[in-house]
Amino acid sequence: MKESLCIPGELLEQLRQGSPCFYQNTKRRTLGSAKPLLPVGLEEIQDAEARLRRFAPLLRQLFPETAESQGIIESPLTPIPEMASRLGREGESVAGRLLLKRDDLLPIAGSVKARGGVYEVLRHTEELAVMSARLRTMESYAVLRKEREMFSEHTISVGSTGNLGISIGIMSAALGYRAVVHMSADARQWKKDLLRSHGVTVVEYEGDYTSAVARGRETAKGDPRHYFVDDENSVQLFLGYGVAALRLRRQLQQMNIPVDETHPLLVAIPCGVGGAPGGITFGLRQVFGDHVHCFFVEPTEAPCMLLGMATGLHQNISVQDIGLSGRTIADGLAVGRPSGFVGKIMEPLADGFLTVTDEGLLNYVKCLYESCGILVESSAAAGFALSRVLSEGQWACPHMENATTVVWATGGGLMPEEIRQELLKSIGH
């Protein structure tokens, strides 16, 4: 199989050696010609956003930290010119303005998973509540706080490297569900401890993320009271992530930052199985059309989405098939086989896929901390690697000088103090 792969030999060699790579998506299309190929559209994202608004009064009660935002789970968009200068000094300049999307600060889960994970649990909850007539039209969803007993007869489970488990587990447990998280070997101990402290059942596996998901899927089979959140195939997770695009548009408008023909928007998002960056990219292309350019960033040892896209094989190829380990310090990105569902949708939408070494990740964590005082987990710093691709001239578009680059910081907000200290130590502080 390896020998017959339909992928440029040079790229394959670089991937195998664990060198940082860039793959430009040759199948990208204009939004107009992409639309007929997509299974869902802007309408479904707007529907998801409306659902999140209906649940806001309930979230506000369950999670006091969302009171200020009236129960809406959103994160700031922050200019980080100090980081842009720092990258410049490291020889990796970013064109135009550099912004950081602070999903490490998202309430409930402290990571991008709060978007998709919370949304899917709420959607399932709405369905259960409506079906069992616990929710009448026009009633505030806050009444669902009293339905713990009903929810306790239902199980919600998920397979995860950590953060999705935290999002699904905490949200499900808060509503009263039995929550089960199947964790892969690379999941961090503190993430398991955190979940258990919320009353979530954590099942640990020796295997990787793909096998944890498979085991979880298996245990849920055939039980109508057991809902399995399928990270590899879930449309609902995808739509939940997609809502980020509507929110980002508002934030850019409030900052008077144009996105149009002469003002391109570049967005770099860390990628594991592909759901989070895929959903966000899908939303952004719907909202900004052809003026937004989205890039997925993966560890050099786990470039599953890049490999799936470059070969066109998607979920039918794994990084182990080309001799990579799939092991990385970026636990949220330690995925060996991509979501085929997401990969297919990304064909006409994404601009490029790139990789970064673990060493590179830690360096970005360090630069961000030293220049802006922001500490994110190593997975979450991957987006900065786009600066390498841009400064090496591997990708460019017209009007780059007017560009706005958004680096998506995807997690780290819930790191316990001793883990923060450990991370600080590993970057020399």
Ligand X SMILES: *Cc1c(COP(=O)(O)O)cnc(C)c1O
Residues of this chain that interact with ligand X (CB under 6 A) are: 111-113, 163-164, 270-277, 332-333, 377, 379-380, 410-411
Of 34 and 213, the one with the shorter C-beta distance to ligand X is 213
DSSP 8-state code for residue 314: G
**In the complex, what is the shortest distance from the CB of residue 310 to ligand X, in angstroms, rounded to a whole number?**
17
**In the complex, what is the shortest distance from the CB of residue 320 to ligand X, in angstroms, rounded to a whole number?**
17
Cβ neighbours of 390 (radius 10 Å): 23
Of 92 and 186, the one with the shorter C-beta distance to ligand X is 186
Of 129 and 334, the one with the shorter C-beta distance to ligand X is 334
**In the complex, what is the shortest distance from the CB of residue 376 to ligand X, in angstroms, rounded to a whole number?**
8
Of 56 and 381, the one with the shorter C-beta distance to ligand X is 381
**In the complex, what is the shortest distance from the CB of residue 298 to ligand X, in angstroms, rounded to a whole number?**
9
Of 58 and 324, the one with the shorter C-beta distance to ligand X is 324
**In the complex, what is the shortest distance from the CB of residue 111 to ligand X, in angstroms, rounded to a whole number?**
5
Burial zone of 428 (CB within 10 Å; 0-12 exposed, 13-18 middle, 19+ buried) = exposed
Of 176 and 270, the one with the shorter C-beta distance to ligand X is 270
With the C-alpha atoms ordered 310, 21, 364, 98, is the resulting torsion angle positive or negative? negative
Of 95 and 374, the one with the shorter C-beta distance to ligand X is 374
Query: How big is the chain, counted in residues?
Result: 429
Biggest distance spanned by C-alpha atoms of the chain:
61
Element (H, E) at 429: none
The token duo for 157 is 């489970």
Per DSSP, the three-state class of 407 is strand
The token duo for 121 is 């649990």
Cβ neighbours of 331 (radius 10 Å): 21
Nearest to ligand X by Cβ — which residue? Answer: 272
Cβ neighbours of 205 (radius 10 Å): 18
**In the complex, what is the shortest distance from the CB of residue 160 to ligand X, in angstroms, rounded to a whole number?**
8
Of 58 and 268, the one with the shorter C-beta distance to ligand X is 268
Which of 387-391's residues contact partners 24+ apart within 8 Å by CB, and which partners? 387/87, 387/92, 387/93, 387/94, 388/20, 388/92, 388/354, 388/356, 388/360, 389/22, 389/295, 389/352, 389/354, 390/92, 390/93, 390/94, 390/95, 390/266, 391/91, 391/92, 391/93, 391/94
Of 178 and 387, the one with the shorter C-beta distance to ligand X is 387
Element (H, E) at 403: none
The token duo for 410 is 């995807």
Alpha carbons 110 and 164: distance in angstroms, whole number: 10
Task: Kindly list the strands in the beta sheet with 155-160, ordered across the sheet, starting from the edge strand earlier in the chain.
Answer: 201-204, 178-183, 155-160, 226-229
Alpha carbons 181 and 345: distance in angstroms, whole number: 27
**In the complex, what is the shortest distance from the CB of residue 120 to ligand X, in angstroms, rounded to a whole number?**
12
